[in-house]
Each structure stands twice: as structure tokens, then as C-alpha cells.
Amino acid sequence: MIHLLIILSLIVVDAAIFIVLLMHILLRRRGTSETRLAWVVFIILIPYLGALAYLLVGGIYFGRVRHHRHISLHANNAPNEQPDLEDLPGMEPRTPSPYRRVFTLAENLCPSDLLGGNHLDLEIDSENFLKPLLEDIENATRNVHLLTYIYLADDTGRQVASALRAAAKRGVHCRVLVDSMGSRDFLRSDLSREMEADGVQVVEALPASLFRITIARIDLRNHRKIVVIDNKIGYVGSQNIADPSFAPKAKFAPWVDCMVRINGPAVHDLQELFLEDWFLETGETVEGLYEELPHVQQDGADVQIIASGPNLDHGSFTMVLQSCFHVASEEIILTTPYFVPDVATETALIAAARRGVATTLILPARNDSRLVSLASRSHYEDILRAGVRIYHFNAGLLHAKTLTVDRQLFMLGSANLDRRSMELNFEVNMLGWNPDFAGQLRLLQLSYQNDSTEIKGQEWLNAGWKRRLARNAAGMLSPLL
């Protein structure tokens, strides 16, 4: 009798736990139906482990203090008043229809605007990025702001640190914000301490530890890559502060990235984004930087900075990306290291190919995440049937996240095409219109394609049952990846 009562009690407890978690999942204000269903299935299949996983990483919360700081910051619109930019010559965007509709959507979703008059330099790899970056830091006179997900104490990291330390010694305010998990070893390194000793402020973004799991989700990360120098020059893209050999995962090297150097009004939006992240972590506001008028390049590119994250409107990056697919009339070329799209994004890509847009997807042949790689491949069948051409890049891990549309519209930045970037992490992308720059970026994409092998549709569709089983099983977890 006692044993029966114990068994019945355990059944009641299990049912109560499941009902409470089910209601919590269904009552969440953020997230998609796919994600909710995936969590429910996961908890049913692996009850206790699934419940624990959901409690650890199921919610979207980044800490009460940051939440209140974000509210206070936006209640005042900004820590400082920005200048009136309407009358500056060269600022008026020239983007034609139908591409202007993409920016109209982005302006309604994001706190930034489409700004003309930007000079853009495409830095096609880590070497091309490092040289001008070091020169710009060496020429800095007032401030250098650097935000990155991964900072390694390797040759690249030491060269950047040396330039920052020299700048700090001559009175330049140097602020470095690095993600707690991505830059864990750097934060504990002698290099970090040496930088701080010379006056460089090094701050840990979203501190992660088991002791913090009750107040903040530990796997929600700041994945942005931003550099702003003297409020005039900015960098944005996919490059971490690390060598291409990328010591933590050297067997996938080289890691292939690209960045853009911006000189123009859009740098103000990068600066605002950095300072907001800095304020969320430190509570420190930086005076005076918003009051300066930006330098405007005549006949420059139209650019908008697209910020996304748990503290901003949900789905901004995803909806802008889908809008880019919808306005395409001739060609789409897309590169990303992690391709695990939601249904709407995949459908928009398929629809573009179905209506005759030449659609190309370039992904790494070898991925540093086996599970994500399998989940990614579970999406191939439908998009291959629609006529999308898929290429596997063979010359390293293609880490660049780039998009060109009709040789006119372009986007690049830190966000991957997976749920983590689309729904969870702090990300930043640059959306723009300029045929000259779009042409340069397209040539870079074609160089990736030349180092790739095309996936033959019929061969892929004829894969054995074991491969299809592994891919589709991993694909079921797509909403959670």
C-alpha cells in the first residue's frame, strides 16, 4: 500500500510539473509556435532533463538590472540629445523602389534610420581588417570603443591590445566590451590585466556562471562585432578579435570573415548601440558624443544599422531578411555559417526561387557544430526542389554572414541564420543600398563560390535512409538551436 502511494505521489508530481511547465510555455509572450511545440515535445520525450533544460535556457531574460537600465535609457530616448541631421547635405537616401520598402520596414522595427552619405570599405579577410583597424586606433585622438563576442590573446589580440594600450597612454578613452562566454579565457588572461593597467577599460558583457542562472539566462550572449573610433569611423561585420587559425577550434581553420569600414552618418548609430550595451553593463553614460555632426560623403551609400536582441522588438532581423527575399527580382546570394531558418524565412527563400529569382546559398562544408550541421542539412530537400543552388565552401569555415540582392541591396553583420541569432542573441547588421558596394560584396561572394562544391539535387535527394534519419532527427530540434 505504501509503495502504491509513493508511485501515485510521483505520478501526481510529474503531472503537476508538466502542467506548470506547459502553461508557462504556452503563456510566454515571446517566441514562435514552433519553439513552443519543440519544448513541449522535448519535455515529453526526456521529462526531467527536458524540464531542467527549459528552466535554464527556455526563457528570454537577461537580468533585472539590465532590464531596468534599458527601460530608463529609452524612457529618456538616449543618454544625450542627438543633433538635428535633417538639413545636412548628402544625408537624403536615394534608394529606389521597391528596395525602399525594406528600409521602411526596418525603420518601423529598429531605433535607427536609413542614412545617406556613407563611404564603405569592404575588408575581405582578417588581414585586410586588422591593418586599417590598427592604423585607425593609432590615429585616434579621443575615444576607441570595441565590442566583440570573442577576443583571443593570440597574435591579432595582442596587436589590437598594444594599439589600445598606446592610445590609452596618450589620453584616448578606450572602452572594450567582450562577451563573458565568448571571451572567457581573455578576461582571465594577463593580456586583459595589462590592458587595464595601462588605462583600457575592459568590461565583461552578460556575466555567465551557474550562480547567475536564477537571474539571467546563461546562454543568451552578446554576439555583436562593433568598433567606433572618434565617432567618425566604424566597423561592423563578422570578424572577432582573433587569428584566422582560431586556436580554440583550429581543425576547422581558417575562419573566413569580412568586415566593413564605415565613414559617415551611420557611425553615429553604431556608437549609440555600443554605448547602450556599455550602459546596460556598467550604468555609465558617456557625455558629448551624440552632439557631434557626422561627416557626410557626397554620393555615398545609403545605410541603416539593424540592431536585434532580447531588449529590442522581437524578430526585426528576421522580418528584414524576409523582406529582402520578397523584393528580389533577379538574384539572391547568401552566405552564412549556420543555416537553421524558421518556417517563414525558409518559405520566403523558396518563394523567391519559385518565381524565377536566381537564388544561391553558400555554407561551410565542415561546421564546428555537428548538431547544427545536421539540422541545417535537414532543410536542403525543400529548397533544392525549389531551385535554390547550394554550395559547400571547402577552404575553411566560412563565417561571413552576407547577402546581396539584385546587385543593389546588401546586408552583412554578426547574425547567423539560426534561431539563436534570429530570436535570442544581441546582434548587429548593416543593411544598405549602393550598386557599387553591392557589386564588390557580390564579387567576394563569388570568390567563396569558386572555392566551393555544388550540391547536386538528385544525389542529395537519393541519400540513404541513415543519413536522412540523422538529418531529420536533428532538424526537429531546429527551433531550439
Cell 539560426: give the residue. Answer: 418
Name the pairing type of β-strands 331-335 and 358-364.
parallel
Cell numbers that stand for 430 in this block: 548593416
The yes-or-no answer on residue 456 being catalytic is no
Cα 51 to chain centroid, rounded: 28
Q: How far apart are CA 148 and CA 88, in angstroms?
A: 32
| Torsion on CA atoms 176, 178, 184, 187, rounded to nearest 10 | 10
Q: Which of 70, 232, 399, 418 is catalytic?
A: 399
Q: Which of 136, 230, 302, 342 is catalytic?
A: 230
Q: Which of 70, 225, 268, 379 is catalytic?
A: 225
Q: Which of 145, 223, 268, 379 is catalytic?
A: 223
The yes-or-no answer on residue 223 being catalytic is yes
Cell numbers that stand for 313 in this block: 522588438
Which amino acid is present at 154? D
In this structure, the number of other CB atoms found within 10 A of the CB of residue 142 comes to: 15
Q: How far apart are CA 374 and CA 205, in angstroms?
A: 31
The CB-side HSE value for 471 (13 A sphere, CA atoms) comes to 15
The yes-or-no answer on residue 406 being catalytic is yes
Cell 582573433: give the residue. Answer: 242
Backbone angles phi, psi at 192, to 5 degrees: -60, -45
Name the pairing type of β-strands 452-454 and 389-393.
antiparallel
The yes-or-no answer on residue 399 being catalytic is yes
The yes-or-no answer on residue 225 being catalytic is yes
Annotated catalytic residues are 223, 225, 230, 399, 401, 406
